[in-house]
Amino acid sequence: MASNRIGRINEEIQKALSESIRNLKDPRVQDTMISITRVEATPDLRYAKIYVSFLEESRAKDGLKGLKSAGGYLRRELGQALNLRYTPELVWELDDSITYGAKMLKLINSLEVEKDGDSEQS
């Protein structure tokens, strides 16, 4: 039952942070498209690991620095949005799963598919 609660809290953290990120005035964060792919909070809700992906790979490093520098503001906004005993400390991680998936899809599509009729004639 506790894991179900943590899952719901993870979803709420993701929603609240997505809204708060739009209000940031840091140009490193404001000038790029940021997507929060998933959130993993510890069972005691002291820490939350936030996985983010960026539309532009070249701005990912600067965008991550911008998010880390705005961590205090985002944590305060999160505390106001969620009524929890402890507001988790935010740990930002770059999520490259979308890039990896696109690379794998490109590799799969580049393979030549052998037709059934061609293999029987050999």
pLDDT grade, residue 97 (50/70/90)?
A: confident
| pLDDT higher than threshold 60 for residue 117 | no
Residues near 36 by beta carbon (within 8 Å), at least 6 away in sequence: 14, 17, 18, 21, 50, 51, 52
Average pLDDT score over residue span 39-52: 94
pLDDT grade, residue 54 (50/70/90)?
A: confident
What is the rounded CA–CA span in Å between residue 122 and residue 118? 7
pLDDT grade, residue 31 (50/70/90)?
A: confident
Taken in order of first residue, the domains within the chain and their CATH numbers are: 2-110 (3.30.300.20)
The type of residue at 76 is R
